[in-house]
Amino acid sequence: MKTILKFAIVSASFVSNISMATPFGFAADVNSNSPFITQGYQGFNYGGKSGAASWVNEIGNEISSEYSVGPTTLGAAWSNGGELLSLTSATAGQTFGINSVSLNTGDTVSVTIDGLLMGNLMHSWTGDIVNQTDYTNVMLNWNNIDTLNFSDGVLTPFFVTNIDVQSSNVPEPGSLALLGLGFAGLAAVRRRKQS
C-alpha cells in the first residue's frame, strides 16, 4: 500500500507540474524589423482587433510619450487601434493563471479584462484606468484560463505591462499512457497478492 501511495504522489507531481513565472513586460522583445510583439514571446500568442498587429511594443516606437504615459522598465505593449487585445497560450491546450497585470491609458477609460476557457467566460474585471505617470496594478488571481482579453469598447489606446502569470504544463499523451500502464500494473500485482 505504501508503494502505491508513493507512486501516486510522484506521478501526480510529474503530471500536474505548474511553473511559476516572474512578471514580464516587453522590453526584451524589441525587434528592429517589426514594431509588433513576437508571437510565442514568453510562451504566449498575441492577437486582438488588428490580429497579430494588435500588440505594439512601445519601446523603440515612443508611443507612451505621445499619450503622456510614463515609461516602465519592463516595457509595455500598446493596443494598436484600441478596443481589444487578446493573450493566449502558444501551446495548444495549455491553460494558465494570471495573478496581476499593470495598465495605463492615454485618457480615463473603463477597461474590461476577461478570462476565458474554451470560449466560456470564467472571470471578468472592469475598472476605470486613469492616465498617470505610474501604471495601475490590477490584482486578478485567476486560474485555469486559456485566453485573456483586454477591451475598452472605444478607440482609446491603452498600455499593458507587468503581466504576472503562472502556466500549467499539460501532460503529453505518452506521459498519461505511461501513468495509466503503471496503475494497471499495480492493480495486477495487488490482485495477484490477494489470490
How does pLDDT run across 143-184, given as a tens digit for each residue?
999 999 999 877 778 899 999 998 765 554 555 565 566 666
Residue 121's identity, in one-letter code, is L
pLDDT tens per residue, range 51-77: 888 898 887 676 767 777 877 888 899
Does the CA dihedral 66-67-73-79 come out positive or negative?
A: negative
The more confident residue out of 101 and 93 is 101
Q: Confidence band (pLDDT; 50, 70, 90) for 105?
A: confident
Q: How many residues does the chain have?
A: 195
Structure-block grid coordinates of residue 73: 522598465
Please give the model's pTM, rounded to 2 decimal places.
0.74
Give residue 139's pLDDT: 97
3-state SS, residue 140: strand
Q: Strand 55-57 relative to strand 77-79: parallel, antiparallel, unpaired? A: antiparallel
Per-residue cell: 47: 492577437
CB 149 within 8 A of CB 116: yes
pLDDT of residue 136: 92
